[in-house]
């Protein structure tokens, strides 16, 4: 599904390398987790994959189902099935949440050569998905993320994912700032979307999310590279002993 080879990324504005030869392969239908200390480049990886400005790829490649996505515009990457749930979801004043979601949905339909969905059909779809995530009708009408609590913003990210049904979902610290109940809702929402045709990259600083979204593979990232790969036990080891031993190995 996702194949990243020797990815080197620096900031556009300064000569600061952030990703330094990152290799990562996520198979179709699998959930991979990336853990790692603050500042290791986890968010940068997700930003670069989604096509955010400000970063320059100096070497390496990233392919989604064999297609080089680093050459694509952000909206083309989304149409190709890539989705990023942000660590800090943005507020969009003046744009209703429901309108935003329906516009995104229909843009994706169009990019895939499929017909637009009617307002009535969309309402049915979104009500069903929102109910599963305990998002109330009021939150659907309000401007995107405006005045939402941290937990509501994160649930709204999962709602977007449930509506858009991407193939490759990247969740950047979706658990940060969530209480246990909100985290469980988010995890349940993700688990419902697990599918043989869909892959996940779950970036998290703490192990607790991985009790609820049990990954197939766990990677440790440090200083711009993946330094260790293992099974779910690796996350438990980090929880117990911290990152130090992996950083020394690296
Ligand atoms: P993580 O998500 O693992 O905590 P980040 O990708 O946010 O790591 O950051 C990696 C490193 O790159 C950090 O040292 C951070 O300060 C730096 N960095 C990332 N983006 C910028 C930026 N736009 N300007 C300056 N430094 C940045
Ligand atoms: Mg950070
Ligand atoms: Mg981060």
- CATH homologous superfamily of domain 2-249? P-loop containing nucleotide triphosphate hydrolases (3.40.50.300)
Whole-model pTM: value is 0.93
Domain ranges for the chain, please list them.
2-249
* Å from CA of 51 to ligand 1 middle: 16
Q: What is the mean pLDDT of each run of 10 residues along the chain (250 residues)?
A: 98 96 98 95 96 96 97 91 89 93 91 90 93 88 91 91 95 86 90 96 90 96 96 93 78
The answer to whether residues 203 and 151 touch, using CB atoms and an 8 Å cutoff, is no
DSSP classification of residue 70: G
Ligand 1 atom 22: residue of nearest CA: 11
Q: What is the pLDDT of residue 192?
A: 92
Cβ(43) – ligand 1 distance below 6 Å: yes
Cβ(224) – ligand 1 distance below 6 Å: no
Cβ(38) – ligand 1 distance below 6 Å: yes
Of ligand 1's listed atoms, the one at least distance from the Cα of 87 is 2
Cβ(44) – ligand 1 distance below 6 Å: yes
Q: Residue 193 CB: number of other CB atoms within 10 A?
A: 15
Task: For residue 19, give the ligand nearest its CA.
Answer: 1
Q: Which of 39, 201, 222, 226 has the most ligand 1 atoms within 8 A of CB, as the residue to mutate?
A: 39
Q: How far is CA 200 from the centre of its chain?
A: 7
Q: What's the Cα-to-Cα distance from 231 to each of 1, 106, 149, 235, 236, rounded to whole Å?
A: 19, 38, 33, 8, 10
Q: Does the ipTM surpass 0.90?
A: yes
């Amino acid at each position: 599904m996702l194949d990243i080879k020797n990815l080197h990324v620096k900031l556009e504005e300064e000569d600061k390398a952030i990703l330094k030869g990152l290799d990562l392969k996520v198979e179709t239908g699998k959930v991979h987790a990336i853990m790692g200390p603050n500042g290791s480049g986890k968010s940068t990886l997700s930003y670069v994959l989604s096509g955010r400005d400000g970063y320059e790829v100096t070497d390496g490649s990233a392919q989604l189902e064999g297609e080089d996505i680093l050459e694509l515009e952000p909206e083309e990457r989304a149409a190709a099935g890539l989705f990023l749930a942000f660590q800090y979801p943005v507020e969009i004043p003046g744009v209703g949440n429901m309108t935003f979601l329906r516009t995104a949905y229909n843009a994706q339909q169009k990019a895939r050569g499929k017909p637009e969905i009617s307002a009535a059909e969309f309402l049915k779809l979104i009500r069903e998905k929102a109910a599963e995530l305990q998002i109330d009708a009021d939150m659907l009408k309000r401007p995107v993320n405006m005045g939402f609590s941290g937990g509501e913003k994160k649930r709204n990210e999962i709602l977007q994912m449930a509506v858009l049904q991407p193939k490759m979902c990247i969740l950047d610290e979706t658990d940060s700032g969530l209480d246990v109940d909100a985290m469980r809702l988010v995890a349940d929402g993700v688990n419902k979307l697990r599918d043989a045709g869909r892959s996940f990259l779950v970036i998290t600083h703490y192990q607790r999310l991985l009790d609820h979204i049990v990954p197939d593979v766990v990677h440790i990232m440090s200083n711009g590279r993946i330094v260790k790969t293992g099974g779910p036990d690796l996350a438990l080891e980090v929880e117990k002993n911290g990152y130090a031993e992996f950083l020394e190995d690296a």
